[in-house]
Amino acid sequence: MSTTERPRILVVGGGYVGLYAARRILKKMRYAEATVTVVDPRSYMTYQPFLPEAAAGSISPRHVVVPLRRVVRGAEVLTGRVTSIDQDRKVATVAPLVGEAYELPFDYLVIAMGAVSRTFPIPGLAEQGIGMKGVEEAIGLRNHVLEQLDKADSTTDEDVRRKALTFVFVGGGFAGAETIGEVEDMARDAAKYYTNVKREDMRFVLVDAADKILPEVGPELGRWGKEHLESRGIEIYLSTSMDSCVDGHVVLKNGLEVDSNTIVWTAGVKPNPALSRFGLPLGPRGHVDAQPTLQVTGTDYIWAAGDNAQVPDLASRKAGVENAWCPPNAQHALRQAKVLGDNVVSGMRGFPQKEYSHSNKGAVAGLGLHKGVAMIVMGKMKIKLKGRLAWYMHRGYHGLAVPTWNRKIRVVADWTLAMFLKREVVSLGAMETPREEFYEAAKPAPAPAVKTEDKAEQKAKAS
């Protein structure tokens, strides 16, 4: 961490908002006008809309993350966690990856810590569940699912086999529907290479407490998405929830019970709980309360945006929707970050602030290779697409939206190669414990067992 005479703009979080806001500030400010410091526990930004495809092996996991130090050149990037903010002294406490926590003074602050999986105290969930918020989870899920096929293919125990081949997904929004669609596609593909596993032997279950899936694309396309997934043999249970999953024994409120080694939790997000320690004004659901200028309410030197902020949705309010708030999605995060970056620079120079207003442009979702839904909003017109055309829209949109040309090219190269080469279906589960084999080889050999006659000899000598 550098000490600096210049004012410091501290950006807490290097995700969507943090990355784009830092880049915007660096672009708009004069040479040496301020020091921009980005703090994040990860050294990379994750393009979350690509996580389902990373979990299915359609995109290399490394290509869905963007190294912060390379893309926010000119900023100081610290790998660590901001654990508290002292507004009176204008210092943040940073817990680095290793070593003691330290204080970091700032003049201007950007809160961009995103959201975490929203969970409930369901027995067994913490031990058995896996989320879909980070690239580590996407890699873990892919290895785990393929490992289940390996297990099922090689066991003679019918119960073990059935449990391995049952996959439960809780939450049918964007993340859940896309992930089950992609993973089912991968498992179907992989099954071709197993002698004792067929797609019909696998059971995919999607559960949602609401009465529909994919609410982001509207009721008609949501219904189509549900019918489409069902036509692929995925069981969908709506208006119900998971009561427990102790040791993989899943019990749903509607009475269904299944045993499964795979419980994927995609039932929504909540604002980063660390915000509660920052002393900032919070809304009823724990978001930082922000003004349309993205300034945190009651301050003129702190800004917040993205999944951790409640920002009034001026476009919807103008259209007559009372108390509308911007939904937590990448579409808003990206645009808010740019306005936020401009406002930080204006704030530093004492210029007026701009208000953030953006009307929904629609949504696209991929449900596996060549399958998807898309709703494009053009003024008052809504264009609804499904199937292959929607899937092309999905790929086209996200292929352009992933940050940096480096990543755009790599992702398109992954997709192009996949058209000619078969999908990789190898499970690298051992990647999670890479030292295990070496440890076994290197650990001290156990003392040789002493023979019975030697023991008698030793006893005789001793007496």
Ligand X SMILES: Cc1cc2nc3c(=O)[nH]c(=O)nc-3n(C[C@H](O)[C@H](O)[C@H](O)COP(=O)(O)OP(=O)(O)OC[C@H]3O[C@@H](n4cnc5c(N)ncnc54)[C@H](O)[C@@H]3O)c2cc1C
Number of other CB atoms surrounding residue 97 within 10 Å: 11
Min dist. Cβ of residue 246 to ligand X (A): 26
Could you give the CA distance from residue 451 to residue 258 in angstroms, rounded to a whole number?
52
Grouping H, G, I as helix, E, B as strand and the rest as coil, residue 301 is coil
Q: Is 181 in the site for ligand X (CB under 6 A)?
A: no
Which one of 87, 155, 291, 329 is in contact with ligand X (CB under 6 A)? 329
As given in the structure block, the two tokens for residue 298 are: 């009651």
Min dist. Cβ of residue 169 to ligand X (A): 12
Inter-residue contact 305 to 330 (CB < 8 Å): no
Q: Is 171 in the site for ligand X (CB under 6 A)?
A: no
Q: Is 59 in the site for ligand X (CB under 6 A)?
A: no
Query: Interface mask (CB under 6 A) for ligand X, residues 115-134, using x and -?
Result: -----------------xx-
Burial of 431 (0-12, 13-18, 19+ CB in 10 A): exposed
Grouping H, G, I as helix, E, B as strand and the rest as coil, residue 249 is strand
Q: What are phi and psi of 251, to 5 degrees?
A: -120, 120
Q: Is 14 in the site for ligand X (CB under 6 A)?
A: yes
Inter-residue contact 218 to 205 (CB < 8 Å): no
> CA of 205: how far to CAs of 90, 184, 209, 315, 343, in Å?
49, 10, 13, 38, 46
As given in the structure block, the two tokens for residue 76 are: 């100081």
Query: Interface mask (CB under 6 A) for ligand X, residues 145-164, using x and -?
Result: --------------------
Which one of the spans 15-23, 57-65, 156-164, 226-234 is the region binding ligand X (CB under 6 A)? 15-23
Q: Is 16 in the site for ligand X (CB under 6 A)?
A: yes
Which one of 91, 274, 282, 425 is in contact with ligand X (CB under 6 A)? 274
Could you give the CA distance from residue 383 to residue 335 in angstroms, rounded to a whole number?
22
Q: Which residue is nearest to ligand X (CB)?
A: 15
- 388: which residues sit within 8 A by CB, 6+ positions away? 370, 371, 372
Which one of 37, 48, 143, 293 is in contact with ligand X (CB under 6 A)? 48
Which one of 10, 26, 40, 146 is in contact with ligand X (CB under 6 A)? 40
Min dist. Cβ of residue 249 to ligand X (A): 26
Inter-residue contact 139 to 336 (CB < 8 Å): no
Q: Is 331 in the site for ligand X (CB under 6 A)?
A: yes
Which one of 330, 340, 390, 411 is in contact with ligand X (CB under 6 A)? 330
Min dist. Cβ of residue 371 to ligand X (A): 15
CA 99 to chain CA centroid, nearest Å: 27
Which one of 4, 7, 28, 42 is in contact with ligand X (CB under 6 A)? 42
Min dist. Cβ of residue 256 to ligand X (A): 25
> What is the distance in angstroms between the CA of the first residue and the CA of the last residue of the chain?
69
Q: Which of residues 219-238 bind ligand X (CB under 6 A)?
A: none
Q: Is 304 in the site for ligand X (CB under 6 A)?
A: no
Residues in touch with ligand X (CB under 6 A): 12-18, 39-42, 48-49, 51-52, 81-82, 112-114, 132-133, 174-175, 272, 274, 306-308, 328-331, 333
